[in-house]
Chains A and B, each alone.
Chain A
Amino acid sequence: QIVDPFQVLVAANKAVHLHRIGKMKTRTLYTEVIFNLSPNNNISDALKKFGVSDSDTAVLIVLIVDTEKPDNLEEVVSQVEGQQVSLDELPQLTDIEKVKKIYKITPQEEKIGTLLDSIVCRMATKDVL
């Protein structure tokens, strides 16, 4: 469901921001990131659609680190049974049509910007609706 790393950055940024001010909607930082990726405000739906499920063949791992504490990237990666590929391959791993359905992208929208634009806009403004 990810079309570009920027999409994840935006979700993570919002999660960290809300975490800092104690206003997260979910209970942990990482579920908050997953929740922020969703176009709606239903937490369980978000976890279902954007969280890892048994049928998934590819997984994107997000690590949020404090600049003070060292990151344990290798530790996390070693726990994954699979082949690590470059982020450049992301477009090939994503089902664009499915993404458009999940985010309910209108045909008019496709004319004024990229899919990423529509997605990020929804992610950033869904809490004001």
Chain B
Amino acid sequence: PPPLPGLQLVQQGAEACVFRGRFLGREAVAKLRVPKLYRHPALEERLSRRRTAQEARALLRCRRAGIPAPVVYFVDYVTNCIYLEDIMGAVAVRDHIESVQQRGGDTSSLLLLGEKLGALLARLHDEDLIHGDLTTANILLRPPVEKLDLVLIDLGLSFVSGLPEDKGVDLYVLEKVFLSVHAETETVFETLLKTYAATSKKSGPVIKKLDEVRLRGRKRSMIG
């Protein structure tokens, strides 16, 4: 576990453990990559380091492009741990949607959320950045939540690509999340896509690919 005062484990994912603590006097998040013991140690070391480096690089790219993502404070290549800005009081889009729906759904605010998401993803993809793991748990809302100030997190699987296919898949993953995790959010995602298409300069081929990927998906009959 990282040497941070006030350390507490926030979450243990498949890839990494996330901790919270103070780093040089600031509230920070430490993302420590979990060593996979079934892998050969030499391979494990290299892979871990590469993933850590890729994530750090992706976070810098986002920042340079004006895509909101946490600030990197320090990268420890010995333990493969990234120390990032802790966005205090942030709520994951997933939790936000759930709480709005529980309260009796002000669906118009969710549609606005869809618009903001569409605009954000359009900017991301126009920079040829692919998130790689777009879920509603990986997009945060800065407080106050009503402002719909979005922040992308968990860029461990992100990469650079101009291919409409990759962008389409990125959107498809998010669509699956909306449809399977959040009830009755089809219109939200539709709004997202509309705004995406309107904001992004390269959206045409991407939407086409999204349609193709949808057709390809699991349990689809490809009769031919």
Contacts and interface: CB of A to CB of B under 8 A. Distances in A.
B73 A120 contact: yes
Closest 10 CB pairs of A and B: A108-B66, A124-B72, A125-B60, A9-B24, A117-B71, A128-B53, A112-B68, A125-B56, A121-B71, A128-B56
Contacts of B68: 112-113
Given A13-B24, A117-B85, A128-B57, A109 B75 contact: no
Interface string A103-129: 000111101110001101110110111
20 contacts: A6-B26, A9-B24, A10-B24, A14-B74, A106-B64, A107-B66, A108-B64, A112-B63, A120-B72, A120-B73, A121-B60, A121-B63, A122-B60, A124-B72, A124-B83, A125-B57, A125-B75, A127-B75, A128-B56, A128-B57
A9 B78 CA distance: 20
B26 A112 contact: no
Given A121-B60, A124-B56, A113 B74 contact: no
A121 B58 CA distance: 11
B75 A128 contact: yes
A109 B53 contact: no
Contacts of A128: 53, 56-57, 60, 75
Interface of A: 6, 9-10, 13-14, 17, 21, 106-109, 111-113, 117-118, 120-122, 124-125, 127-129
Contact of B63 (A9, A17, A109): A109
Contacts of B63: 109, 112-113, 117-118, 121
Interface residues of B, number: 23
Contact of B59 (A9, A21, A108, A121): A121
Contacts of B72: 120-121, 124-125
Contacts, number: 65
Contacts of A14: 74
B24 A125 contact: no
B67 interface: yes
Contacts of A125: 56-57, 59-60, 72, 75
A91 to B, nearest CB: 18
Nearest to B123: A108
Given A121-B59, A128-B60, 15 more contacts: A6-B25, A10-B73, A14-B74, A106-B66, A108-B66, A120-B72, A120-B73, A121-B63, A121-B71, A124-B72, A124-B73, A125-B59, A125-B75, A128-B53, A129-B60
B92 to A, nearest CB: 19
A112 B75 contact: no
A10 B72 CA distance: 10
B65 interface: yes
Contact of B74 (A21, A112, A124, A129): A124
A127 B56 CA distance: 10
Tell which of B25, B26, B53, B63 has the most Cβ of chain A within 10 Å.
B63
B76 interface: yes
Given A112-B63, A121-B63, A125-B57, A9 B25 contact: yes
Contacts of A6: 24-26
